[in-house]
Each structure stands twice: as C-alpha cells, then as structure tokens.
Chains A and B, each alone.
Chain A
C-alpha cells in the first residue's frame, strides 16, 4: 500500500519569502509523484509531476520539487511567494499501472501575508 504524508496542514509565509511545503511518501514500488493546487471553489490543477529521469522537477508558476529517494520525500518549493499563491496544495502518489488512481496527502493550506 502507498501513502503520502504532508507535514503541516497550514503554512504561513510573507510575500517574497521562500515557500517550502513538505511531502513524504511510502511506496513499495517506485513511485510516481505529483503536486496539485486547489484554489477556493475550484478543482485541482497539476503543478508538476515526477515519473522518471531528472529528480528536480520544474512546474508552473515558478514551483519546483525534488525527488529524494533516500529520504522518501518530494518537497515543493518556490523562491519567492506571491499573494496569488495562497491556496491548498496536495501531494499525491501513483503506481505506474494504476491509471488515474492517485493517493493524496491531507493537503497544506498556504497563506501569504503582505
């Protein structure tokens, strides 16, 4: 069975500060990892994903994440937070043969202070 743990249900940063959202996974097979963002009253939007290859993955809106197998982590970062980044962020894991069946973490609500 696979699972995802997101440390910190709420994270608050100042505008212009570094954003770091933590995600650790548990998987018995090589995982495929995703970060999604959800704005209020909207569905989820893919930020980035790791399947194979380069462990540093760049996504939309200036976000990136690094896959660290030794630490079973896939933390999401952005060098400089913007007010528009305020949203809920979800880390998810999938097995390669599982279609669109994703296992999500509990989510982290990012708040950006002016």
Chain B
C-alpha cells in the first residue's frame, strides 16, 4: 500500500512568486492535513480538509490556502512568497481525521526555498 505522496520533493522560488504543492493521501483516507516545519517556529498546523471541506485552520495569513479534490488529493497554495515561507511542508492523512482515534500518516514533505 502506497504511503502519503508529496510532490515535488524540492522547490526553489523567488520572492513574490506563488507556489502550489501537492499531496496524495493513502488510498481510502479522506482527511488531509498540512503542517509547516521551520527551524525557528517548529511544526505548525496550517489546515485540514475532509471530504473537500476545510475543517480546521491554523493561524496563518490568507496567502496560504488549500483545497481538496473528490479523490481526496489535496493541494496547498502560497501566494506572494516571502523569505520566511522557506520551510518543509508536510502533509498527513488519515481515514476520518480524528488523531485521537486513528493513526496519522505523514509524507516526506516538500522542501520549499524562497530566494
């Protein structure tokens, strides 16, 4: 069974550009969550989607957005990139999106560098 797949693995952008990251969850999983990992701020929750609806949202500016498709694949978009957006973006999936009752599976992440 394939794990959580994130593409691309590495990305280099310049300030002001926008970027789209993709996440394919494990087959059958309907919940997809996104996290940002930086050396300074650590791991921070961005948002969670379940059945194409955003269910939870972290404390990030509106430049960060996401969506989920009917096949549960998810994308996140960052517009008007800033240097501080350089980070490892992790995607995680589970069946119903309740971390307390089921296991959350993480992808290997997309490493975004903003120059």
Contacts and interface: CB of A to CB of B under 8 A. Distances in A.
Nearest to B93: A100
Contact of A96 (B55, B97, B100): B100
Given A45-B106, A106-B42, A51 B94 contact: no
Contacts of A102: 43, 45, 99, 104
Interface in B74-115: 90, 92, 94, 97-101, 103-104, 106-109
A44 B90 contact: yes
A69 B55 CA distance: 29
Contact of B43 (A41, A45, A49, A90): A90
Interface in B34-85: 42-45, 48, 50, 55-56, 58
Interface residues of B, number: 26
B33 interface: yes
A43 interface: yes
Nearest to B90: A43
A94 interface: yes
B74 to A, nearest CB: 12
A66 to B, nearest CB: 18
A108 B61 CA distance: 28
B22 interface: no
In this complex, the member of A34, A96, A101 whose beta carbon has the largest number of chain B beta carbons within 10 angstroms is A101
Interface residues on A, range: 20 to 34
B56 A98 contact: yes
Nearest to A44: B106
B108 A43 contact: yes
B48 A43 contact: no
Interface of B: 4, 31, 33, 42-45, 48, 50, 55-56, 58, 90, 92, 94, 97-101, 103-104, 106-109
10 contacts: A43-B4, A98-B99, A99-B48, A99-B55, A99-B56, A101-B56, A102-B43, A102-B45, A102-B99, A107-B42
Interface of A: 32, 34, 36, 41-46, 49, 51, 90, 92, 94, 96, 98-107
